[in-house]
């Protein structure tokens, strides 16, 4: 990944592509134990799985906790600039000179940017704001452990 933007809210990266095929273990049960080796039957390329529009796709690393019901600090977001934005989608927004990640809420002609952390207030967009929906979050990658 090549870092293309750094701020206190997030870092943005451009993906670098390679052919990396990883064994796909099929579906993993969250219940009783199964032997994964018995199910390895194909290989996947994570670039092909996660990225639909290579020239319009970026990664962003989450900083902060305003979206902690959806993402944790340090999670890697896959952002697609070619994806259409609409009510309910989570977007990387450029508002008044700063990037932020929020859920788009449009109700009765009013646009709000909603955090998922209840400690933060929704942001109501007015004519005084400059807002650009920079891209839509299509996947997130989280480190466990």
Which residue has 């989570």 as its token pair? 90
pLDDT averaged over 10-residue windows placed end to end, the chain, 145 residues = 80 77 60 59 82 93 95 95 97 94 96 97 95 96 88
Q: Is residue 124 part of a domain?
A: yes
Q: What are the residue numbers of the active site?
A: 66, 102
Q: What is the pLDDT of residue 37?
A: 59
CB atoms within 10 A of CB 11: 18
Q: What is the pLDDT of residue 5?
A: 82
Q: What is the pLDDT of residue 36?
A: 55
| Domain that residue 100 falls in | 2-17+54-141
Q: Would you call 13 helix, strand, or coil by DSSP?
A: strand
Q: What is the pLDDT of residue 45?
A: 83
Which residue has 């039957």 as its token pair? 41
Cα gap 103→88, rounded to integer Å: 6
Q: Is residue 42 part of a domain?
A: no
Q: What is the pLDDT of residue 15?
A: 81
Can you give the CATH number for the domain in which 71 is found? Answer: 2.10.109.10
Domains in the chain, number? 1
Q: What is the pLDDT of residue 31?
A: 63
């Amino acid at each position: 990944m090549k870092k293309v933007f750094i701020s206190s809210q997030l870092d943005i990266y451009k993906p670098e592509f390679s052919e990396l095929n990883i064994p796909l273990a099929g579906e993993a049960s969250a219940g009783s134990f199964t032997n994964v080796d018995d199910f390895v039957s194909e290989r996947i390329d994570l670039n092909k799985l996660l990225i639909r529009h290579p020239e319009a796709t970026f990664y962003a690393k989450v900083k902060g906790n305003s979206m902690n019901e959806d993402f944790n600090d340090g999670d890697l977001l896959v952002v697609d600039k070619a994806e259409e934005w609409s009510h309910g989608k989570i977007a990387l927004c450029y508002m008044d000179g700063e990037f932020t990640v929020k859920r788009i809420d449009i109700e009765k002609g009013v646009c709000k940017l909603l955090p998922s952390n209840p400690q933060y207030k929704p942001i109501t967009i007015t004519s005084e704001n400059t807002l650009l929906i920079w891209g839509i979050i299509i996947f997130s990658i989280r480190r466990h452990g």
